[in-house]
Amino acid sequence: MGESILLVNLVIALLAGLVGAIIAVRLGQSIILGFIVAGIFIGPFTPG
């Protein structure tokens, strides 16, 4: 059971990074900026 939760969290993190990178590239920014913004949005200390 614990492995499936870990796998789901990993997939969510990878998809968020991919989406952030795509948005950053379309805005003319670096891919790394997209990864950082995605990490901020899915991080454990994000309000909301």
Domain tally, the chain: 1
In-domain check, residue 48:
no
What's the token pair of residue 22? 């795509």
In-domain check, residue 19:
yes
In-domain check, residue 27:
yes
In-domain check, residue 24:
yes
pLDDT tens digit string along 6-33? 899 899 999 999 999 999 999 999 999 9
In-domain check, residue 32:
yes
The predicted model scores a pTM of 0.78
In-domain check, residue 33:
yes
Residue 23 domain boundaries: 7-42
In-domain check, residue 31:
yes
pLDDT higher than threshold 90 for residue 45: no
